[in-house]
Structure 1
Amino acid sequence: MHNIPLKPIIVAASLIASALAGNAQDNLVNSLKINASEKSKESFKFADVVNIENTSVKNQGSSGTCWSYSANSFLESEMIRMGKKPVELSQIFSARNAYVEKGRNYVRMHGSVALGDGGAFHDVINMYRKYGAVPQSVYTGLNYGTDKNKFAEMAALIEGFLKAVVSNPNGELTPNWEKAYAAMIDAYLGQVPKTFDYNGKKYTPETFAKEVVGINADDYVEISSLQEYPYYSKFVLMVPDNWNYDQVYNVKMNELTDIIDNALKNGYSVAWAGDVSEKSFSWKNGVAYVPEKKIEDMTAEEKADMFNGPKKEAVVTEEMRQKAFDNYTTTDDHGMHIVGISKDQNGKEYYIVKNSWGTTNDYKGYLYMSKEFAKYKATAIMLHKKGVPAAIASKLKI
């Protein structure tokens, strides 16, 4: 997921071009500012049903690192669930290590794999397993005077570098390209400390992960739902940012929300990846749903009223979900952290979702996503395997 909406009829080609230049997150947020109604917050009356403790809302800045921010937020909530004092984990430590691994894959694949800032939840888990973890205070990724991430220049340079490596100008790759590549990333993000002090004790990233964070990377599963693959088996999710070709479990569409509901009601939060560039997703108003009527069939008055209080929704089918994935109207463009369930004044349930775009919207960085939207537009979810209902877990053999 990389925060780049891929719907030309919704997002202008110029926005996509600038997003590809490294400003994807800013452009996606700006494109969603038009999806708003004037009196939305006063028109909704939300009452929490489940609200899992989570850490403060962050801002990923001008970087396509939503996957790292949301997955690390998820891990911080896992620490709380386990009775530990949560640590703000370095999102850029996870991203930096993923960039190194992605560069290796890019060269091995002769350039035939996605580059850029994008990634997936499993990248954070995989990097945690291989490299450990460090606190945000130890590794901020802000190495040249900025107070927020700004990755466009770095992304352009490392892409050019890797393309030069793949062109193989010497006729044989040298052993030095990896050192040069890592040094380029570290010049922008900073060198990762081999050891550091935290609360009066010295750690390495590996010992910090083991002794302080304390999660088991093998406890986490990714799940999706597509008709084209056998249910209750695993498949490679074919989205550009799955650069490592990791597999996800396949369940029926309605089981996605069954799983999320079960997890939340048993104290487990959920990482959600999917499409947020729909007109029915309003970041400003903090509401996402699936309108009963297609946007193009709405009057101007209906469009202006879209987020002024609860509206009837379309009933999503598996066929609708598969078609949207196949025709690019569902793309893997964002990752967020589901931390609870809330009801509107009509009794309809929504998921409470923590975002990583700062606190400038109506709900200070959170939003309310309907269950129809969650299962329609999800590309994958990640959670602790004990959060999966027993009957589904048995079918998945986890």
Structure 2
Amino acid sequence: MIKNYFLATALAVAFANCGVLHAQDDLIKKISSNKTEGKAGFTFTRIIDLASTPIENQGSSGTCWSYSANSFLESEMIKAGKKPLPLAKIFTARCSYMDKADNFVRMNGAVSWGDGGEPHDVINMYAKYGILPEANYTGLINGATKNNFGAMQKSLKGMLDSIIKNPNGALDLSWKKHFADTLDAYLGTVPPMFTYDGKQYTPKSFAKEVVGLNPDDYVEFISQTNTPYWQKAMMMVPDNWAFQWDWNIPATAFTEIIDNALKKGYTVAWGADVSEPYFSWPNGVAFVPEHPEQYKKGVTLEQKKALFNGPKPEPAITPEMRQQALEDLLTTDDHGMHIVGLAKDQNGKEYYLVKNSWGASNDYKGYLYVSKAYVQYKTTGLLVNKKGVPKSVASKIAL
């Protein structure tokens, strides 16, 4: 028997934007229940398996960017010789919502709103507000065990829409307090002081004294042909509410950077499109079939059965091919994950070992194996420690 793979149309709708996803955990349970057999066709051997913290579940929230990039920082701490420590992902998200709300009001609502963000938001929030251990701020109240942000985001968006209408003819300057109070009601109040290993900290002092990472040590990359390579350009995706500019590089440099970083012991925060039928969360495998254009309108049952019954040849990813997928919105900014290692399949082809934030419900207990061609084709952005960037790339951007 071969697995009954989930419908591509369901994936496309569910993962169209990580920032507006609120029923993600329920969908993943439904998708995973379609399986009829495990791990058919693939045998992976890990070559590099860098240290990371345990798999987590973002629940019904579009906070993949915070889970993945904070997981990345957790591995950075381990790399620096510090004790493994889960960081407060929802504290980062909460800080981001406050700053995003400020942008929304200043732009009179002419920007997107939702749960979503980018890896650089984690770095920016860490630099500005600090961080807490996850044990000291989970964002879960009233006995909740998983995030469920649907009602909260509806309330926040309604409040913001009302604020920008200026019903009294002038902006009510107390709106930020009311906005923060609403976050408190849904996520709990952030402790101004907390105890860790017998010592009192604020989020800022904890970031400085315990986490000890330098926000300036990190660099983000994108790849597009409509702006020059080796120069900075705007990351043109709705969740880039901070209007960040990143280094634009050829897609082949993505894998050069990841390979070099992993070999030096550095992990990578990865943003990508996951809406393709050849990205399978239940199977824990993603690759690019020889003719990906055949899957633009979905897949037949027989095609679904054949996709993951073993390794397949992949096409060379050209800049034109990648850009066309961006222009056609076949490559969209869906999901943030964490690249923590390298593996080979039974034919010797290399895949990246990717840590996800959807719990441990798939074949590889929360991890995926993603081919290098998929990374070159479907990546929207990479965040990495500067020390992990190869000289061939660093020399071209004066890093």
Cα distance, 1:229–1:40 mapped onto 2, change above 3 Å: farther
2 CA distance for matches of 1:18 and 1:352? 23
Q: Deviations over 1:12-56 (max 9, x none)?
A: 99868999875253476368559x875551421111111111110
Structure 2 residue runs without a partner (length 5+)? 1-6
User: Quick check: 1:19–1:25 contact (8 Å CA) kept in 2?
Assistant: no
Tell me the residue number matched to 1:333.
Answer: 334
Tell me the residue number matched to 1:4.
Answer: none
1 CA distance for matches of 2:171 and 2:56? 40
Q: Deviations over 1:264-302 (max 9, x none)?
A: 111010010010111001100000000113236976434
Tell me the residue number matched to 2:4.
Answer: none
The one-letter amino acid paired with 1:310 is P
Tell me the residue number matched to 1:196.
Answer: 194
After TM superposition, the structure 1 = structure 2 runs for residues 171-320 of structure 1, keeping only pairs within 5 Å, are: 171-293=169-291, 294-295=294-295, 300-320=301-321
Cα distance, 1:297–1:332 mapped onto 2, change above 3 Å: closer
Cα distance, 1:42–1:360 mapped onto 2, change above 3 Å: same
User: Quick check: 1:37–1:304 contact (8 Å CA) kept in 2?
Assistant: no
Cα distance, 1:192–1:20 mapped onto 2, change above 3 Å: closer
User: Quick check: 1:68–1:94 contact (8 Å CA) kept in 2?
Assistant: yes
Q: Deviations over 1:349-374 (max 9, x none)?
A: 00000000000100000000000011
User: CA offset at residue 87 of structure 1?
Assistant: 1.2
User: Quick check: 2:75–2:267 contact (8 Å CA) kept in 1?
Assistant: yes
Tell me the residue number matched to 2:391.
Answer: 390
Tell me the residue number matched to 2:135.
Answer: 137
1:61 to 59, 62, 66: 59
2 CA distance for matches of 1:42 and 1:321? 29
Cα distance, 1:372–1:194 mapped onto 2, change above 3 Å: same
Tell me the residue number matched to 1:164.
Answer: 162
Provide the identity percentage.
Answer: 54
Cα distance, 1:172–1:250 mapped onto 2, change above 3 Å: same
Q: Deviations over 1:317-344 (max 9, x none)?
A: 1111111111111110100000000000
Tell me the residue number matched to 2:356.
Answer: 355
Cα distance, 1:163–1:13 mapped onto 2, change above 3 Å: farther
2 CA distance for matches of 1:13 and 1:300? 17
2 CA distance for matches of 1:153 and 1:199? 36
User: Quick check: 1:61–1:149 contact (8 Å CA) kept in 2?
Assistant: yes
Cα distance, 1:56–1:213 mapped onto 2, change above 3 Å: same
The one-letter amino acid paired with 1:87 is L
Tell me the residue number matched to 1:29.
Answer: 28
User: Quick check: 1:91–1:136 contact (8 Å CA) kept in 2?
Assistant: yes
Cα distance, 1:21–1:257 mapped onto 2, change above 3 Å: closer
2:106 to 101, 105, 108: 108
Cα distance, 1:241–1:175 mapped onto 2, change above 3 Å: same
User: Quick check: 1:274–1:331 contact (8 Å CA) kept in 2?
Assistant: yes
Tell me the residue number matched to 1:321.
Answer: 322
SS at match of 1:185: helix
2:68 to 41, 52, 70: 70
Cα distance, 1:9–1:99 mapped onto 2, change above 3 Å: same
Tell me the residue number matched to 2:87.
Answer: 89
1 CA distance for matches of 2:9 and 2:97? 30
Cα distance, 1:193–1:28 mapped onto 2, change above 3 Å: same
Q: Deviations over 1:174-227 (max 9, x none)?
A: 220111011111111111111100111100101100111110001001101101
2 CA distance for matches of 1:19 and 1:237? 16
SS at match of 1:396: coil
2 CA distance for matches of 1:29 and 1:239? 24
User: Quick check: 1:114–1:241 contact (8 Å CA) kept in 2?
Assistant: yes
2 CA distance for matches of 1:363 and 1:16? 20
User: Quick check: 1:22–1:155 contact (8 Å CA) kept in 2?
Assistant: no
Cα distance, 1:144–1:297 mapped onto 2, change above 3 Å: closer
2 CA distance for matches of 1:290 and 1:129? 37
- Give TM-score scaled by structure 1 length: 0.93
Tell me the residue number matched to 1:10.
Answer: 9
Cα distance, 1:298–1:200 mapped onto 2, change above 3 Å: closer
- Give TM-score scaled by structure 2 length: 0.93
User: Quick check: 2:15–2:334 contact (8 Å CA) kept in 1?
Assistant: no
Cα distance, 1:14–1:301 mapped onto 2, change above 3 Å: closer
User: CA offset at residue 305 of structure 1?
Assistant: 2.2
2 CA distance for matches of 1:170 and 1:62? 36
